[in-house]
């Protein structure tokens, strides 16, 4: 019996095309169907349908069906938008899309969905619609330990149960002691995940790399013929952003203080998120305006406690001019150098504050309290304090500063939580969503097959 699997690559689909070929070669019952954001990426080898086609999948005007049919409110998806062209009525398009996507899932009798990531309005709408129909939608997540990646069908990125009945087997044969050792090494050696500093996105790259990236951007813009989506930055906007970025970095640098000189102060640590991304648009979907969050934190800080803010290396200068000035003007808020190892800041802090980032996970490893604004999968473990109820935030800050924390060796539930992820993971030290190297393709193929009944 055919298994209709929908592949949803939010980047170039070439990697997923090759994975699909290998999946079919191993299991001929698999019937790959591709949902693409850009129809220009389609191939005659597989059944492909684009976002534009899904939007126009059915004749639809007037009022939409009830939100409960799709499992989410349209406003949620509209506020997570980052792909649609300017002057597009996003809410109307998403209304059409979710209805067309639901019809697609029914007519194609989709059994499973595999995506690369979920960090925009379309991905959120597709994920929630699928969930309302009890169709698993799996996407990649990092374990936040080493270079291990797993598939999740949970909105907050938590792992499936390694013993769940519809998985063939746990993927890696790790024990509790292995997970604990990984976490201890992360703390001891101040290990930072590779995704934290994508070399293609940092500000200080060679002239050759910048010219090469710009040439690729031109080609991508010429190739894409999309009615609704701005999948690539327009050329003029890209040039303007490059000029503006240098000014923004200068603005940041004038506020940075030497961490060694101020490390003995009492402080909370807030690492700025790269935005927009999964941690902000999805896991922090109700509260991702970072300036407003920093205002809130600054307002309730004890007068002798500082808030140290570190910019994400990839995000340096990627903000409107005045962004850093606004943050630096807040009482007791200080910028530290972007290249400061976050473990060093966590270790010396009173507590950590995050929306749903890796620093919160690392804080628990360091036996520090962490104030969590978002829907992070680690929020229910010892040392994590949920801050979704802003009414209690002042009390939560004092709790984070004063309450006793649980050491990693004593935090059994947290270690088991990490162990479960590791058992479902692949180790992919050179992972890229664009790689066609078989050392990447074959393991991911095996991971996908492991999640197909």
- Supply the CATH number for residue 429's domain: 3.40.50
Task: Place 210 in a pLDDT band, splitting at 50, 70 and 90.
Answer: low
Tokens of 143: 């374990």
Tokens of 30: 């698999």
Same structural domain for residues 263 and 348?
A: yes
In a domain, 56, yes or no: yes
The CA-CA-CA angle for residues 55, 56, 61, to 5°, reads: 90
pTM comes to 0.92
Question: How is the chain split among helix, strand and coil, in percent rounded to 5?
Answer: 45, 15, 40
Same structural domain for residues 379 and 399?
A: yes
Same structural domain for residues 402 and 435?
A: no
> What are the beta bridge partners of residue 140?
151
What digits encode the pLDDT tens for the residues 16-58?
Answer: 999 999 999 999 999 999 999 999 999 999 999 999 999 987 6
> What are the beta bridge partners of residue 352?
269, 370
- The CATH code of the domain that includes 279 is 3.40.50.2000
In a domain, 207, yes or no: no
Q: CA torsion angle for 390, 392, 396, 398 (degrees, to 10)?
A: 120
Pick the residue with more confidence: 63 or 1?
1
For 229, which DSSP code?
A: B
What digits encode the pLDDT tens for the residues 346-376?
Answer: 999 999 999 999 999 999 999 999 999 999 9
In a domain, 227, yes or no: no
Neighbour-count burial of 286, counting CB atoms closer than 10 A to its CB (0-12 exposed, 13-18 middle, 19+ buried)? exposed
> Whole-angstrom distance between the N-terminal and C-terminal Cα of the chain?
11
**pLDDT in the model for residue 225:** 76
- Bond prior to 437 in cis (omega within 30° of 0): no
Tokens of 372: 């969590």
In a domain, 106, yes or no: yes
Same structural domain for residues 345 and 443?
A: no
Number of domains in the chain: 2
**pLDDT in the model for residue 157:** 95
For 167, which DSSP code?
A: S
Positive or negative, the Cα torsion across 440, 442, 445, 449? negative
Same structural domain for residues 269 and 158?
A: no
**pLDDT in the model for residue 242:** 82
Q: Are the beta carbons of 403 and 369 closer than 8 angstroms?
A: yes
Q: Are the beta carbons of 337 and 344 closer than 8 angstroms?
A: no
In a domain, 101, yes or no: yes
Tokens of 101: 């996507």
In a domain, 372, yes or no: yes
**pLDDT in the model for residue 194:** 72
Same structural domain for residues 350 and 431?
A: no
What digits encode the pLDDT tens for the residues 412-443?
Answer: 999 999 999 999 999 998 899 999 999 999 99
Per-residue DSSP letters for 42-108? Answer: --TTSEEEEHHHHHTSS---SPPPPHHHHTS-HHHHHHT--SBPTT--HHHHHHHHHHHHHHHHHHT
Arithmetic mean of pLDDT, 193-199: 63
Alpha-carbon gap, residue 238 to 317, rounded angstroms: 13
Domain that holds residue 139: 3-172+425-450
In a domain, 24, yes or no: yes
Same structural domain for residues 329 and 438?
A: no
Alpha-carbon gap, residue 106 to 129, rounded angstroms: 11
In a domain, 297, yes or no: yes
Same structural domain for residues 300 and 377?
A: yes
**pLDDT in the model for residue 203:** 60
Same structural domain for residues 27 and 158?
A: yes
Is pLDDT at 404 greater than 90 in this prediction? yes
């Amino acid at each position: 019996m055919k298994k209709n699997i929908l592949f949803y690559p939010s980047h170039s689909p070439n990697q997923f095309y090759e994975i699909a070929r290998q999946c079919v070669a191993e299991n001929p019952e698999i019937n790959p169907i591709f949902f693409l954001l850009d129809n220009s990426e389609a191939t005659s080898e597989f059944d492909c349908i684009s976002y534009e086609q899904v939007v126009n999948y059915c004749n639809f005007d007037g009022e939409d069906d009830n939100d409960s049919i799709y499992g989410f409110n349209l406003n949620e998806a509209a506020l997570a938008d980052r792909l649609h062209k300017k002057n597009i009525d996003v809410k109307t398009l998403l209304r059409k899309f979710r209805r067309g996507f639901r019809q697609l899932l029914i007519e194609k009798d989709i059994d499973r969905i595999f995506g690369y990531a979920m960090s925009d309005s379309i991905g959120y709408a597709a994920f929630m619609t699928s969930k309302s129909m009890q169709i698993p939608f799996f996407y990649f997540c990092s374990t936040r330990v080493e270079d291990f990646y797993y598939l999740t069908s949970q909105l907050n990125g938590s792992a499936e149960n390694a013993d769940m009945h519809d998985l063939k087997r746990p993927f890696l044969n790790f024990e509790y002691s292995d997970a604990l050792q990984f976490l201890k090494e992360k703390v001891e050696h101040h290990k930072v995940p590779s995704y934290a500093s994508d070399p293609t996105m940092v500000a200080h790259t060679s002239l050759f790399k910048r010219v090469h990236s710009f040439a690729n951007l031109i080609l991508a813009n010429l190739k894409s013929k999309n009615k609704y989506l701005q999948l690539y930055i327009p050329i003029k906007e890209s040039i303007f952003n490059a000029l503006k970025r240098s000014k923004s970095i200068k603005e940041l640098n004038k506020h940075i203080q030497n961490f060694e000189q101020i490390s003995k102060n009492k402080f909370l640590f807030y690492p700025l998120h790269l935005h927009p991304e999964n941690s902000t648009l999805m896991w922090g979907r109700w509260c991702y305006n970072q300036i407003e969050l920093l205002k809130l934190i600054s307002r309730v800080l004890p007068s002798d406690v500082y808030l140290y803010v570190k910019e994400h290396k990839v995000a340096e200068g990627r903000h409107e001019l005045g962004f850093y000035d606004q943050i630096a003007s807040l009482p007791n808020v200080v910028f530290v150098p972007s290249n400061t190892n976050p473990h060093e800041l966590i270790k010396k802090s009173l507590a950590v504050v995050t929306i749903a980032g890796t620093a919160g996970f690392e804080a628990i490893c360091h036996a520090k309290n962490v104030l969590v604004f978002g829907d992070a999968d680690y929020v229910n473990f010892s040392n994590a304090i949920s801050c979704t109820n802003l009414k209690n935030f002042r009390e939560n800050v004092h709790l984070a500063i004063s309450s006793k924390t649980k050491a990693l060796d004593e935090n059994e539930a947290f270690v088991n939580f990490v162990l479960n992820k590791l058992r479902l993971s692949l180790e992919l030290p050179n992972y890229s969503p664009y790689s066609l190297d078989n050392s990447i393709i074959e393991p991911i193929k095996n991971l996908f097959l492991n999640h197909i009944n």
